[in-house]
Amino acid sequence: MKFHFAGGLCLALCAAAFAQQVLTNESVEKMAKARLGDDVIVSMIQSQAGRYDVTPDALIALKKKGISDKVLAALAAKGNTSATAPPAPAPAPLAVAVDPYEELDIGVYRKVRQTWTTIASEPVNWKTSGGIKGLITDGTINKGSTGRLIGGSSPTQVSAPFEFLLKTADGVGATDFQLVLLHDKSDGREFRTLADGGLQNQIGFEQTRIAKRTYKVVLPGKLSAGEYAFLLPGLVSSSTGGSVGKAYTFRVVE
């Protein structure tokens, strides 16, 4: 009784040991020498991953070592099944950076309660010695002309800190914009071009590209109260078509 129990325990331990490894022809030989039954060996072949040599010469060699036809048939049916490791997880898709400004239209924006809000644009006319005329005549602007905006005040009022966002067209940068201090008149606001193509009372600003065609603009902290305007590229020169005649205005209040 004790002998049969010990023998059964030995066979069970042998089977468990083989269950933890990839089976080969040599594994089958070892199980047969350990006197595991054909049914046990066949079950192991069918359920475990293995790398078997099932060429005629290899099967003949196993037959000569006492492997039964039943086990050889299981090996032939199993074939050369390669043990494979669990498939590697699919690589995570590359994160695509989302542009939070992609949906913004071309224009100038100011920050209101952490939200970028559009600054309205105003048309610009040019006053010459013959009076006021529209911007587009022969495609150029007379140097030394006066740009004029109708109305005494911009509808947009801002106070420090002065943070703006410029959304530009393709091929246009923030440095193509010009910021100018406007002169208050009784029925409008004006700015004047210089003979060299510059502007009187032009204001410099710092700009940082934060996304495609999107620039953050910071103005000097001590900007005095008054009327200002971002002039679109092409307003003072004819270098960029299609945007002539428009300025984005704001009034700085204390």
**Residue 42 pLDDT level (bands cut at 50, 70, 90):** confident
Range of weakest confidence among 8-22, 39-53, 161-175, 208-222: 8-22
Tell which wins on pLDDT, 170 or 11. Answer: 170
What's residue 208's pLDDT?
93
Per-residue pLDDT reduced to its tens digit, 83-103: 455 677 888 777 777 888 989
Identify the DSSP state of 93: P
108 or 236, which is more confident?
108
Per DSSP, helices labelled H in the chain are 2-19, 25-33, 38-47, 56-64, 69-78
The pLDDT of residue 237 is above 80 = no
Please state the φ and ψ torsions of residue 229, each to the nearest 5 degrees: -150, 135
**In angstroms, rounded to a whole number, what is the distance separating the alpha carbons of residues 72 and 75?**
5
pLDDT digits 0-9 by tens, 126-161: 775 444 444 433 444 445 678 889 888 899 999 888
Contact status, residue 80 vs residue 51, Cβ threshold 8 Å: yes
More confident: 191 or 81 = 191
Q: What is the pTM of this model?
A: 0.56
pLDDT in tens, 59-73: 898 888 888 998 888
Highest mean pLDDT among 67-76, 101-110, 132-141, 220-229: 101-110
Read off the DSSP letter of residue 242: S
Contact 104, 116 (CB under 8 A): yes
Q: Average pLDDT in the 166-194 region?
A: 90
Mean of pLDDT values over 29-33:
88
- 49 vs 252, residue with greater confidence: 252
